[in-house]
């Protein structure tokens, strides 16, 4: 039975990336050595990390003066690295969900954090809008945003027009839209959504923004360490970086960000239409702020007792990973770049068939 994997992460990857990684595990670049055993100092792996960085810059049109880093520790490590490196005294944060909330907690260890807006009181069901829900004060060292909120299904798909440097956690929607990188001092993304297996974090950092915070920074937590050594200060996560390269090659081959944007729009529109036209299912996020990556929905009140039955029904059709996050329940269908429209069609059909059976 074909599986339709809607997992929020680690998530589905393209067959291209998976198959090329399998081949490299057996024999990396014709060396006769497995990717799992190759020296990260070898010229063959140096070529991998060089090409991966170049493709990130090409696909996202990264301007001059920025470095691409491949780091361990996940996006959660960046919650501390960001204020360590960028906060001098005061930063602004938007509280739009669990991961933004965690980032705020870490930043408060380093200085004053102004929470400019929060949607927590509304269950994080909307994304606060600049000029409507908040303004950005003067004197901030930077403003931090989480562009996509995987648990609650909200997303900001336009770059903010901010009077201060921006820093963004784009873990779950990077490579799904055009980004004006020049507006940001740093962008970071855990790879396990749209790029690679868990184990590596992509960081795009503005070189001239580093070194302004007047505090001692541990060597491994100082971005300058990794910029200087080209992400090779210590042994990098070799396998996920190699898979990231394959994903980036695949993105370029299919048409880059333009094509990825189109696919994301079509997949999410089809699923949201099915939810909106259903008497059994209803969306949870404000319509104007709905995520294109993580579609969150629940059973309408008369059908609440059928949630587990629907999950079991989907499993019988090979549809997996749609159970909502444990903190909110309901359902979550993650439509990351590698998920084919075929899988969305399968889920929509399952929703229709289940509703017909139980109405």
* Annotation: CATH topology of 4-12+256-358: 3.90.1150
Q: Where are the alpha helices (DSSP H) in the chain?
A: 15-26, 43-59, 74-86, 98-107, 223-228, 238-254, 256-276, 307-315, 341-358
Classify each residue of 319-342 as buried b or exposed e, where b means 16 or more C-beta atoms within 10 Å of its C-beta: bebbbbbeebebbbbbbbbbbeee
Q: What is the pLDDT of residues 39-89, one digit of tens each?
A: 999 999 999 999 999 999 999 999 999 999 999 999 999 999 999 999 999
* 10 prior amide bond cis, ω within 30: yes
The total of other beta-carbon atoms located within 10 Å of residue 355's CB is 17
Rounded Cα–Cα distance for residues 304 and 330 (Å) = 9
- Map residue 169 onto helix, strand or coil: strand
The catalytic residue positions are 99, 169, 193
Q: For residues 329 and 146, which has the higher predicted lDDT (pLDDT)?
A: 146
Q: Phi, psi at residue 121, to the nearest 5°? A: -60, -25
Has residue 329 got a pLDDT over 90?
no
Structure confidence at residue 16 as a pLDDT band (50, 70, 90): very high
d(CA 247, CA 184): 24
Three-state DSSP state, 289: helix
Angle of CA points 88, 93, 95, to nearest 5°: 155
**Residue 273, pLDDT above cutoff 90:** yes
Domain 15-254 bears CATH identifier 3.40.640.10: yes
Q: What are phi and psi for residue 160, nearest 5 degrees?
A: -70, 145
pLDDT by residue (tens digit) across 171-195? 999 999 999 999 999 999 999 999 9
Query: Rounded to whole angstroms, how far apart are CA atoms 153 and 143?
Result: 22
Q: What is the pLDDT of residue 166?
A: 98
**For residues 201 and 75, is the Cβ–Cβ distance under 8 A?**
yes
Where are the domains positioned within the chain? 4-12+256-358, 15-254
Spatial separation of the C-alpha atoms in residues 169 and 149, rounded to whole Å: 10
**CA proximity to 17, closest of 262, 194, 235:** 194
**Widest CA span in the chain:** 64
Model confidence over 96-124: pLDDT tens digits? 999 999 999 999 999 999 999 999 999 99
Give the per-residue pLDDT at 330.
93
């Amino acid at each position: 039975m074909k599986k339709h994997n809607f997992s929020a992460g680690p998530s589905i990857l393209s067959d291209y990336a998976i198959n090329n990684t399998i081949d490299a595990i057996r024999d990396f670049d014709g060396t006769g050595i497995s990717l799992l055993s190759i020296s990260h100092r070898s010229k063959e792996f140096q070529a991998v990390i060089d090409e991966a960085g170049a493709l990130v810059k090409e696909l996202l049109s990264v301007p001059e003066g920025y470095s691409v880093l491949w780091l361990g520790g996940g996006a959660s490590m960046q919650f501390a690295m960001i204020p360590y490196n960028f906060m001098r005294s005061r930063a602004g944060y938007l509280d739009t969900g669990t991961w933004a909330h965690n980032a705020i907690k870490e930043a408060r260890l380093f200085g004053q954090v102004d929470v400019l807006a929060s949607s927590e009181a509304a269950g994080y069901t909307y994304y606060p809008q600049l000029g409507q829900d908040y303004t950005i004060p003067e004197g901030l060292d930077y403003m931090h945003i989480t562009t996509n909120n995987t648990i609650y299904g909200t997303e900001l798909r336009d770059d903010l027009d901010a009077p201060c440097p921006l820093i963004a956690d784009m873990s779950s929607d990077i490579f799904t839209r055009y980004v004006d990188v020049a507006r940001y001092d740093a962008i970071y993304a855990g790879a396990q959504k749209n790029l690679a297996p868990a184990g590596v974090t992509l960081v795009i950092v503005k070189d001239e923004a580093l070194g302004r915070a007047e505090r001692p920074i541990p060597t491994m937590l100082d971005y300058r360490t990794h910029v200087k050594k080209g992400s090779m200060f210590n042994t990098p996560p070799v396998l996920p970086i190699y898979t990231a390269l394959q994903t980036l090659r695949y993105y370029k081959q299919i048409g880059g960000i333009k094509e990825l944007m189109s696919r994301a729009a079509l997949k999410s529109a089809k699923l949201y239409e099915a939810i909106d036209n259903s008497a059994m299912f209803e969306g949870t996020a404000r319509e104007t702020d709905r995520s294109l990556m993580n579609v969150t929905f629940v059973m309408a009140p008369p059908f609440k007792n059928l949630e587990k039955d629907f999950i079991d029904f989907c499993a019988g059709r090979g549809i997996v990973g749609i159970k909502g996050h444990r903190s909110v329940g309901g359902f979550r269908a993650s439509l990351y770049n590698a998920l084919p429209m075929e899988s969305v069609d399968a889920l929509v059909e399952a929703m229709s068939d289940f509703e017909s059976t139980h109405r």
